[in-house]
Structure 1
Amino acid sequence: MELSEQNVKKQRPVHLDLQTIRFPATAIASILHRISGVIMLFAVGILMWLLNSTLASAESFAGVQALFDNFVVKFVIWGILTALAYHLFGGLRHLIMDTGRLEELASGTASAKVTFALTVAFSIVAGVWVW
């Protein structure tokens, strides 16, 4: 049976308003886990550069230490710590899910919300520590 071109066009959405689509907490948790992984990929480069600079000489250590007086550098370090925390908590959540627990929708949603809450708490602690 062949579908006519007119029938195919009728089945397509006329207007897909992306601003009205609401993702469940589990989808947001999964997407943020991937984003935090990408952030961590770039963060490793930044942190390795900082470590290399601090180990090169006493003058370069002092230069890196002076960098931490800059608001932007503090903000980047805080962002790296927050991404690390979310990736860690999200990764632990995924590991627990791999054991067969938290597979139901309700427990998956609850674990995603716990992951968000733990990350916010750690982010606040990291912000206080950095500043």
Structure 2
Amino acid sequence: MSEAAKKRPEFRNIHITDILTYRLPPAAIVSILHRISGALMFLLLPFIIWMFDKSVSSEISFGQFSAAFSSGLWILPGWFIKLVVLALMWAYLHHLIAGLRHLYMDATHKLSKEFGKSTAVTTLVLSVALTVILGAKLFGLY
């Protein structure tokens, strides 16, 4: 049987059981994560505003802000607050880098499949690498 005669599998409606076997291209993963990071930043906006207010209002409020990372906040332990801030760092970095990627592709009209894949992988690597570096600082590793 020749290559032309082989029928490729056709996926029209992906069932929930096919999600584990379906491989998304890197550009699709970056696009989905761009939406997730935007939603995460929007949902945690009250926490971001609270952190900003506590960090700049006075020396006493800055002490409360710093204590939230070591001793916790309300019923939440300090390590959980650090994880939330780490998630916010990733969301901001990923959203920024993916947004710049989209703006660059729109401005230059570089819409080839190869360019999309390479910039998507670059976006994923940069956002995770910067998050790891800043997360190490957050958790006091340097």
Fold-level similarity (TM above 0.5): yes
Identical positions, percent: 33
Distance (Å, rounded) in 2 between the aligned partners of 1:23 and 1:46:
33
Q: Note the 1:78-93 alignment, pairs <5 A.
A: 78-93=86-101
1:106 to 106, 114, 136: 114
* Cα pair distance change 1:12/1:42, threshold 3 Å: closer
Q: Let me know the Cα RMSD of the aligned residues.
A: 2.3
Letter in 2 for 1:99: A
Offset from partner CA, 1:73-101 (integer Å, 9 cap, x none): 11111111111000000000000111134
Q: Indicate conservation of the 8 Å contact 1:25/1:109, yes or no.
A: yes
Partner-residue secondary structure (3-state), 2:108: coil
Measure, in 2, the Cα distance between the counterparts of 1:14 and 1:47. Answer: 38
5+ unaligned residues in a row in structure 1: which ranges? 1-10
Aligned mates of 1:15, 1:80 — CA distance in 2:
29
Q: CA deviation at 1:105?
A: 0.3
Pick the structure with greater CA Rg.
Answer: 1
The structure with the greater share of residues assigned to helix is: 1
Q: Does 1:48 align with 2:49?
A: yes
Number of residue pairs matched by the alignment: 121
What is the DSSP-based 3-state SS (H/G/I as helix, E as strand, rest coil) of the residue aligned with 2:37? helix
Matched residue, 1:7: none
Unaligned runs of 5+ in 2: 1-11, 71-77
TM-superposition CA deviations, 1:19-75 (whole Å, max 9, x none): 211111111111110111111112332110122234555433322211111111111
Q: 1:72 aligns with which of 80, 89, 97?
A: 80
Alignment of 1:17-56 (within 5 A): 17-56=18-57
The normalised TM-score by structure 2 is: 0.75
Tell me the distance in 2 between the aligned counterparts of 1:27 and 1:15.
18
Q: TM-score if structure 1 supplies the norm length?
A: 0.81
